[in-house]
Amino acid sequence: MSVLKIEALEKQNEDTVIFPAFGLEMSEGQAVALHSNTNIRNILLRMLNGDMKGSSGDIHVLNKPISTFTKPDYTCIGVSYLDDGLYPRLTVKDVFTFYRSLYNSSRTISDVLHMLQLESKHKVRVQHLSYSEQRRVQAGRLLFQDPALFVWEEADQNVDMETKRIFIKLIQELKQTGKSILLLTSNMESAITMADHVYRLDETGCRSIETEKEELLEPAEEDFIEEIKPVVQFDKVPTKIDDKIILFDPTEIDFVETSAGQVLIHIKGEGFPGVFTLTELESRLQPFGFFRCHRSYIVNLQKVREVITWTRNSYTLILDDKKKTEIPLSKSKMAELKAMIGMK
């Protein structure tokens, strides 16, 4: 059954195209991430709650156009905003009691506390919770609402590892019950890690980002034949900003990614446009300890501190920097990485 269907939706602001007409459809039990900038994300959220209409096209939820929704119809859409307000003086249990009564929910408070790992915090006032714990309380509201379509704005932005793991597990559980989850984010790593399907939406259109499909194009671990590649001897990696060419030592580079067709070389939290393709950089950087961990990422293994397993098919590399930068690691590359470091 179709839960969300976007048909030829377009948004313009006078002569400026915010995003051209695009289509997207979600069925029951799917988690889809839409990667975009903050402006587009805010526009989509306003469209989903009925505060804004597209220049053309429409959004259908449960086969009904949002443009025809009455107030009761919106209960089938549950939105968790990044800056959702909470009642700071209430305890977690009091907040959940309020939400359960508001939505006349059949879910028990103890079940939701368990799903969000907040049992030990049920008597704590919201204002005394950490930011990550408050984000979990926000998620509780959606669980009591129990909509057909869950919409999360920047679900894991600035949360700790425990909370991210809880959210990923929660998404898996919701999918198993037939719920659909739409993740709106500007973080590609989050999109790849948390969703089954990823799309990028910008002023040029909506494009699918390869995630699971890439595994079919890569050799299985047992079919991998080691290839001895010649060492490319060079000292610097060039980047270009305006008319200037800036040269960096390979050891300075944290990771390289490709985004919207542009290769970015990340050094100490700053991204510099590259002059080579990702494949060319993979060949040039391999002798310096770099690893193609994902179709869209190359990482300096000397900068990797942790390898996190979220689910059986979802992994993340954590870099040893102040931001604890997270880089996606594809399933087949996990097997290759284990072989490289001597793990079975």
How do residues 92-145 score in pLDDT, each as one tens digit? 999 999 999 999 999 999 999 999 999 999 999 999 999 999 999 999 999 999
Residue keyed to tokens 């510099």 = 272
d(CA 217, CA 118): 41
Tokens of 122: 């049920």
DSSP H helical ranges for 69-203: 92-102, 109-115, 131-145, 161-176, 188-194
d(CA 137, CA 116): 8
Strand partners, 180: 149
Rounded alpha-carbon distances, angstroms, from residue 329 to 189, 207, 257, 337, 343: 9, 21, 12, 9, 16
Q: Do the bridges between strand 290-294 and strand 297-300 make them parallel or antiparallel, or are there none, so unpaired?
A: antiparallel
pLDDT in tens, 142-200: 999 999 999 999 999 989 999 999 999 999 999 999 999 999 999 888 888 899 899 98
Q: Which of 318, 323, 53, 69 is nearest to 193 (CA)?
A: 318
Calculate mean pLDDT across residues 270-296: 90
d(CA 63, CA 221): 43
**Coil vs helix vs strand at 87:** coil
Query: pLDDT confidence of 237, banded at 50, 70, 90?
Result: confident
pLDDT of res. 242: 66
Q: How far apart are the first and last CA of the chain?
A: 42
d(CA 219, CA 304): 24
pLDDT of res. 344: 64
Strand partners, 259: 262
Q: Based on DSSP, count helices (H) and strands (E) in the chain, helices before strands.
A: 9, 20
DSSP H helical ranges for 195-326: 213-217, 278-285
Query: pLDDT confidence of 85, banded at 50, 70, 90?
Result: confident
Give burial (CB, 10 Å; 0-12/13-18/19+) of 135. Answer: buried
> Which secondary structure element, helix H or strand E, spans residue 326, and what is its range?
strand 326-329
Calculate mean pLDDT across residues 227-255: 73
Rounded alpha-carbon distances, angstroms, from residue 109 to 64, 117, 132, 172, 181: 32, 12, 19, 20, 22
**Coil vs helix vs strand at 76:** helix
Reply yes or no on whether the pLDDT at 28 is more than 70: yes
d(CA 295, CA 280): 13
Query: pLDDT confidence of 272, banded at 50, 70, 90?
Result: confident
pLDDT of res. 214: 42
Reply yes or no on whether the pLDDT at 223 is more than 70: no
d(CA 2, CA 48): 16
Calculate mean pLDDT across residues 233-259: 81
